[in-house]
Amino acid sequence: MEAVRSLSAPVPRAKAGPTPLFGAYGIVKRFGSFTANDGVDLEIRAGEIHALLGENGAGKSTLMKILYGLLEPTEGVVTHKGDIVQLPNPEAARQLGIGMVFQHFSLCENLTVAENIALVMPKDLSGRALADRIARLGIDYGLHLEPDRPVWSLSAGERQRIEIVRCLLQDPKLVILDEPTSVLTPGEAEALFTVLERLRQEGRALLYISHRLDEVRRLCVRATILRAGKVVGTCNPREETARSLAAMMVGNAVRAVTPQEGATLGKERLRLDRLALPAPGLHATALRDVSLSVAGGEILGIAGIAGNGQAELFAALSGETRAPDREAVRLDGAPVGALGINARRRLGAGFVPEERNGHAAAPLMSLSENALLSRHPTAPLTRFGLIRPGAARDLARRVIEAFDVRKAGPDPAAGTLSGGNLQKFVVGREILAEPGVLVINQPTWGVDAAAAAHIRQAVIDLAARGAAILVISQDLDELFEIAGSIAVLHDGTLSAAVPSAETTREAVGLLMGGSSDAAPAPAP
């Protein structure tokens, strides 16, 4: 397949200077009447880490998919070393030297490391030859992998190594990384930064997409900022602050989260007492004697790497999984271990699961219908067994207004919202119910700075009104910003909760990685 053709006319350059390794000029992508990219110019040079920034819905994912051959632009061109290239599919992009490390791993759990890598490699590279190349690359870049290990047995950090090794084995000239540290411990993130710097020194180009702006400031020397599908500026992130970068992304200053200080805690509202549950599946995690207590006005943070029992803990708290002992879960003193989710909602609990599309919301249903799904046990949305559509629309409208949910149309399908706006909707749907207990899993995963600040402040304000809140998150910055105390879930076992002011990110990170020697360390 021929991916490159000679220029028939000069390419409009965004800036004077050396020809970039890859460029995108005048990129427009329309989906019906909606314009996701509107005249976007982007130049990526060899030997640089270039940040692509923007709030949720700004057009980053669309542009990234165009560069990787997953989408074709409606207008505009992509260039390689000054030549216009056509990228009808990812295979054409890979042939040209474009590799991508996705935010969500695309791995087959039951296959080994080597088998997963072999899926995208030439057929003549397999078996011992492939295992040897994996080992050599691991030595060169510090990306150690065991080729014969099944993927289901690996940590999140090890799985990301597979994605990176699979990409590097194709000798890419441009590596696109989408939220690469979202599931990593601080130690694993540091190891990744070392690898990225090594790739840069080799002359490769890296396009770095992240909402963690301190990482962007550390790694990148150029950034292109998108807003509403258009490029609104470029800058050197090292000359900016995280706050000024966020302001460029959203068009105005992002309000700072105001922590709750000097709060007087109320009575215990949520309690787990030696909760033990078997693993619900082959690749799931058993919960082992998990105990915790959350009082009114308190926010307890649960840190941990993905796959260490967070989903199982949430299911046990929400009632999606019943506890064998009804006394193992208590809400305001009442034993609820044997009750389902609707019964727990009627007792004053609210729940926000990790996966917003499919678990927290039905993507093909409207926002008002999604409001009905979780609020019908506690809100007057039905009468005589019949749905009251007007009441459901009114509830959805109040959530949309209170949480600044941006959408197209008065009552669109949930799946048409950007990730951050859908997250604001599902969080707002629960918070407007004024629950006495709120359990929220990954509250701001993949959410831009403004939406994250809005959600975090809403959680803090709910606690100030007397609710007991349990936040499960892999984002340590988030937990230290909003939680009064932090515990760590590792391999289904929960550590003792420690006041966040009396520990450090490094100490929590060690516990997340399973270190038995990690102990809460005094904050400097």
Nearest 5°: the CA angle 170, 173, 177 is 85
How far is Cα 471 from Cα 304, in angstroms, rounded to an integer? 11
* pLDDT of amino acid 125: 67
Look up residue 340 and give its two tokens: 């389902």
Dihedral (CA of 237, 242, 243, 248) sign:
positive
**In 142-240, alpha helices (H):** 156-168, 186-201, 213-219
With H, G, I as helix, E, B as strand and everything else as coil, classify residue 234.
strand
Q: Encode pLDDT of 151-166 as tens digits.
A: 888 777 788 888 888 8
CA distance 112 to 46: 33
Q: Where are the alpha helices (DSSP H) in 231-284?
A: 242-250
| Residue 281 CB neighbour total at 10 angstroms | 8
The CB density around residue 189, as the number of other CB atoms within 10 Å, is 19
**Could you tell me the CA-to-CA distances from 306 to 100, 255, 283, 362, 372 in Å, in that order?**
21, 29, 12, 23, 30
**Contact yes or no for 403/325 (Cβ under 8 A):** no
User: According to the model, what pLDDT value does residue 307 have?
Assistant: 80
- The whole-number pLDDT of residue 417 equals 85
Output the pLDDT for position 420.
Answer: 79
Give the pLDDT of residue 122. 74
Which one, of 520, 518, 505, lies nearest residue 188 by Cα? 505
Collect the ranges in the chain with pLDDT lower than 70.
1-17, 104, 124-126, 183, 253, 262-263, 516-524
* pLDDT for the residue numbered 13: 57
According to the model, what pLDDT value does residue 406 have?
81
Q: Provide the pLDDT for residue 11.
A: 56
* Residues 431 and 440: beta-carbon distance below 8 Å: no
Instruction: Write down the pLDDT at residue 17.
Output: 67
List Cβ neighbours of 190 (8 Å cut-off, separation of 6 or more): none
DSSP code per residue over 435-480 = -SEEEEESTTTT--HHHHHHHHHHHHHHHHTT-EEEEE-S-HHHHH
Identify the residue whose tokens are 């100030």. Answer: 464
| 181: β partners | none
d(CA 145, CA 137): 10
Answer for the pair 487, 496: CB distance below 8 angstroms, yes or no: yes
Q: Are 483 and 497 in contact (CB under 8 A)?
A: no
pLDDT for 356 equals 87
CATH 3.40.640.10 is held by the domain 268-512: no
Measure the CA–CA gap between 470 and 345, rounded to whole angstroms.
Answer: 15
The amino acid present at 46, given as its one-letter code, is A
